Amino acid sequence: MELDFTKLDGLLPAVIQDATSGEVLMLGFMNADAYAATQASGEVTFFSRSRNKLWRKGEQSGHVLRVREILVDCDVDSLLIRVDAVGPGVCHEGYRSCFFRQLSAGGEAKVIAERAFDPNAVYGKDAR
Separation in Å, CA 103 to CA 14, 65, 92: 22, 27, 20
Which one of 51, 52, 62, 107 is in contact with a copy of itself (CB under 8 A)? 107
Using the rule CB under 8 A, is 100 a contact of a copy of itself? Answer: yes
Tell me the torsion sign for CA atoms 26, 27, 32, 34. Answer: negative
The CA-CA-CA angle for residues 3, 13, 104, to 5°, reads: 150
Q: What three-state secondary structure class fits 15?
A: strand
List, in sequence order, every beta strand (DSSP E) within 49-122.
53-56, 65-72, 79-85, 101-103, 109-111
| Count of residues that interact with a copy of itself, criterion CB under 8 A | 41
Encoded one letter per residue, x for contact with a copy of itself by CB under 8 A and - for no contact, window 22-51 reads xxx-xx-----------xx--------x--
Minimum separation from the CB atom of position 7 to a copy of itself (A): 7
Residue with smaller CB distance to a copy of itself, 59 or 73:
73
Using the rule CB under 8 A, is 111 a contact of a copy of itself? Answer: no
Using the rule CB under 8 A, is 93 a contact of a copy of itself? Answer: yes
Residue-level length of the chain: 128
- Contact set with a copy of itself (CB under 8 A): 1-2, 7-8, 13, 15, 17, 21-24, 26-27, 39-40, 49, 69-75, 78-80, 91-93, 95, 98-103, 105, 107-109, 112
